[in-house]
Amino acid sequence: MIAGVVSAQDETVLVVGHAESTDSLDPARGYTQTTGIINKVTYETLVTFPSDSASEIVPLLATDWTISEDGLTYTFNLRAGVTFANGDPLTADDVVFSVNRLANVVGNPSFLAANIASVTADDEDTVTFVLNAVDPAFLSNLSNSAFGITNDAQVIDAGGSAAEDAATADAAETFLNGTSAGTGPYILEAWESDVQTVLVRNPTYWGTAPFFDRIIIVNIPEAATQAVALESGEIDIALDLTSDQMPGFEGNADIAVASVPGNIVHFLLMNNNPDIGGPMSNPLVQRAVRLALDYEGFATLWGGINPGTIMAVGQQYAFTPEQGIARDLDAARALLTEAGYPEGFDITLQYPTFTFQGVNMDTNAQKIQSDLAEVGINVTLEPGELSVSLEQYRTGQQGFGYWFWGPDVLDSIDVLSFLPGGKVGAERANWTDENSEAVIQELREAARVATDPAEREQLFTDIQTYLQENGPWAPFLQPNVQTAFRADLQGYVWHPQWLIDLAILSR
């Protein structure tokens, strides 16, 4: 590229290289990592986490809140003087509208609002939530950008609706894919699917003004291309590198690197419905698969660790890599024989053609195929385009699938999604109350409402111990997040929820 060329206005521009996975930029509908990164800076939530951890809940659009004795009613006081990017002031009605809209459009993140019985505006600056059941993770939940507050007037003008029939009545998605209607430090200027997303600074932002005038998130799917683009100065930060590339930056004074354990777990899904999963629905086979995977190999391949269970290492109460499952081919073969497959069987593995944070799923799928071949399971690979495969997975049509998971809620109870009847457990793997054991259902119910730390630790330990032996999941890799950026870029910190806060970067 031609050095020293800047836009005509002499703006400060941040260029981010990223493998885009955006499904929608409507906060009530989008639910992918890229959506999270972008909506983090265009929308704001009532409460949030500190910029570098999920250790506590801190105020954002709400300044303070009270929780009722029974733990079911939360009342929030809104921050005064906050305006949307178009100048409208933030009111309690905007909050009510945004939450109801999320609940009613039946988008991918709508499940986050499922436990909310009602949300009402007490006055201009006060909002009350009533829950269906006690939820120790409710505030963590609220910090998800799906709960980003939108300007009700603007969204309604664009055809939006928060009514009960919003799933058909709401027509604001196209509008929200083209611009944002939030209170965040940036405004969405344009999203060209698969090409780039452009954000511009919100001139009326109520908080500390961000450093960059303009942020361009350019879609670069291949890790190698991201690395070259970073070296040439084409981009300022590369979000999806692999561990292979890190040594290449050593001795390059222009580039700084960061490698953190991350919290994404790559796992296999083995559908519990025999009509869909076939042999994979057999609990013995499921255990055999867990024993057949070469955990050390995957960790070497990408630079990462063996997740102890489907709970990411680093989550509270999660097992450590040392507590993870060790490969034992003989035990796996014995289990297959016991299950009635002494000669193994044929199965198709479905997964998306996708590289996430530098981890190429196609490469892992080939290793899974090779690992399982050693115990006689003959795997045929069936890669699919991300959106196509994602829908098969979300609708529970995959018998044997390979996916990755980042926590929805930064609380141990996130793992309940994977238990019988849970969002992932029931909908995607057909692990239901009908075909699961009472013991895990009891653990689940207890963990859902427990608040005492010692009790929680015991419950989540028991759940993880159970999951290592049973269940339709075979988690096999928690890759490190490899990020590299121009050495003059300040303020980069990885965050377990939104991965990167673009608004706190400066030069």
Partner 1 sequence: MPIYLFIFRRILFTIPLLLGITVVAFILANAVPADPINANLPSNQLNNPELVEAFRREWGLDKPPVEQYLTYLGNLLQGNLGRSIRSRQPIAEDIGRFLPATIELSTVATILGVTFGVSFGVISAVWKNTPVDFLVRTLGLIGISVPLFVLALVGLTVFHAELGWVAGPGRLSVRLSPPPNVTGMYLIDSLLAGQWNVFQDALSRLILPSMVLALYITGMISRITRSSMLDVLRADYIRTARSKGLRERFVVLRHGLSNAMIPIVTAIGLSYGVLLAGAVLTESIFAWPGIGRYMFSASTGQDFPAIMGVSILIAFIYVVVNLVVDVLYYFLDPRVRAA
Partner 2 sequence: MSSIISLTPASARRKRARRIVSIFLKNPLLLVGSLVLLVWLLVLFLAPNLATHDILQQNVSVRLQPPSGEHLWGTDELGRDIYSRVLYGARITLPAGIIVIVIGSIIGTVIGAVAGFYGGLLDELLMRLTELFMAFPTIILAMAITAALGPDIRNAIIALVVVWWPSYARLVRGLVLKVKRAEYVEAAQCLGARRSYILWRTVLPNCLGPTIVLTTLDIGSAILTFAGLSFLGLGPEPTSPEWGRMVAVGIDYFDQWWTWLFAGAATASVVLAFNFIGDSLRDLFNPELR
Chain positions contacting partner 1, by CB under 8 A: 1-2, 5-8, 13, 15, 29, 106-108, 110-111, 167-168, 173-174, 177, 192-196, 216, 218, 220, 225, 228-229, 232, 234-235, 353, 384-385, 387-388, 391-392, 394-395, 397, 427
Whole-angstrom distance, CA of residue 225 vs CA of residue 204: 36
Shortest distance, CB of residue 7 to partner 1, whole angstroms? Answer: 6
Nearer Cβ to partner 1 (300/395): 395
Nearer Cβ to partner 1 (242/306): 242
- Answer with the entry of partner 1, partner 2, none that 387 interacts with (C-beta below 5 to 8 A by kind): partner 1
DSSP-assigned beta bridge partners for residue 481: 260
- Answer with the entry of partner 2, partner 1, none that 300 interacts with (C-beta below 5 to 8 A by kind): partner 2
- Answer with the entry of partner 1, partner 2, none that 388 interacts with (C-beta below 5 to 8 A by kind): partner 1
Q: 358 in helix, strand or coil?
A: coil
DSSP-assigned beta bridge partners for residue 459: none
- Answer with the entry of partner 1, partner 2, none that 394 interacts with (C-beta below 5 to 8 A by kind): partner 1
- Answer with the entry of partner 2, partner 1, none that 454 interacts with (C-beta below 5 to 8 A by kind): none
Nearer Cβ to partner 2 (62/220): 220
Shortest distance, CB of residue 301 to partner 2, whole angstroms? Answer: 5
* Pairing state between β 73-78 and 116-123: unpaired
What is the number of other CB atoms lying within 10 angstroms of the CB of residue 486? 18
Q: 396 in helix, strand or coil?
A: coil
Residue in the structure block whose two tokens are 């609706």: 161
Nearer Cβ to partner 2 (42/242): 242
Whole-angstrom distance, CA of residue 299 vs CA of residue 263: 14
Whole-angstrom distance, CA of residue 165 vs CA of residue 172: 14
Shortest distance, CB of residue 381 to partner 1, whole angstroms? Answer: 15
Give CA separation, 69 vs 32, 66, 133, 366, in Å. Answer: 35, 10, 13, 53
- Answer with the entry of partner 1, partner 2, none that 301 interacts with (C-beta below 5 to 8 A by kind): partner 2
Whole-angstrom distance, CA of residue 164 vs CA of residue 387: 27
Residue in the structure block whose two tokens are 């890669």: 383
Nearer Cβ to partner 2 (88/231): 231
Shortest distance, CB of residue 25 to partner 2, whole angstroms? Answer: 27
Nearer Cβ to partner 1 (48/242): 242
- Record the tokens describing residue 93, joined without a space: 């009605």
DSSP 8-class letter at 387:
H
- Answer with the entry of partner 1, partner 2, none that 269 interacts with (C-beta below 5 to 8 A by kind): none
Q: Exposed e or buried b for every residue in 287-312, given b needs 16+ CB within 10 A? A: bbbbbbbbbeebbebbbbbbbbbbbb
Q: 374 in helix, strand or coil?
A: coil
Shortest distance, CB of residue 384 to partner 1, whole angstroms? Answer: 8
* Pairing state between β 400-405 and 481-486: unpaired
Nearer Cβ to partner 1 (218/377): 218
Shortest distance, CB of residue 485 to partner 1, whole angstroms? Answer: 15
Shortest distance, CB of residue 479 to partner 2, whole angstroms? Answer: 14
Rg for the chain, CA atoms, rounded:
23
Q: Are 464 and 311 in contact (CB under 8 A)?
A: yes
Shortest distance, CB of residue 48 to partner 1, whole angstroms? Answer: 26
- Answer with the entry of partner 1, partner 2, none that 7 interacts with (C-beta below 5 to 8 A by kind): partner 1
Give 447-493 as a DSSP string.
HHH---HHHHHHHHHHHHHHHHHSSSEEEEEEEPEEEEEETT-B---
Shortest distance, CB of residue 364 to partner 2, whole angstroms? Answer: 10
Nearer Cβ to partner 1 (294/427): 427
- Answer with the entry of partner 2, partner 1, none that 468 interacts with (C-beta below 5 to 8 A by kind): none
Shortest distance, CB of residue 3 to partner 1, whole angstroms? Answer: 10
Q: Are 410 and 281 in contact (CB under 8 A)?
A: no
Nearer Cβ to partner 2 (367/423): 367
Give CA separation, 459 vs 315, 317, 440, 449, 452, in Å. Answer: 14, 9, 10, 11, 11
- Answer with the entry of partner 1, partner 2, none that 360 interacts with (C-beta below 5 to 8 A by kind): partner 2
Nearer Cβ to partner 1 (57/390): 390
- Answer with the entry of partner 2, partner 1, none that 345 interacts with (C-beta below 5 to 8 A by kind): none
Nearer Cβ to partner 1 (324/352): 352
What is the number of other CB atoms lying within 10 angstroms of the CB of residue 122? 12
Shortest distance, CB of residue 383 to partner 2, whole angstroms? Answer: 6
How many CA atoms, within 13 angstroms, populate the side-chain half-sphere of residue 204? 13
Whole-angstrom distance, CA of residue 64 vs CA of residue 77: 6
Nearer Cβ to partner 1 (220/375): 220
Shortest distance, CB of residue 313 to partner 2, whole angstroms? Answer: 21
- Record the tokens describing residue 331, joined without a space: 């035990």
- Answer with the entry of partner 2, partner 1, none that 395 interacts with (C-beta below 5 to 8 A by kind): partner 1
Give CA separation, 125 vs 65, 89, 122, 301, 345, in Å. Answer: 12, 11, 8, 52, 62
Residues forming the site for partner 2 (CB under 8 A): 222-225, 242, 244, 248, 294, 297, 300-301, 353, 355, 360, 362-363, 365-367, 369-370, 373, 380-383
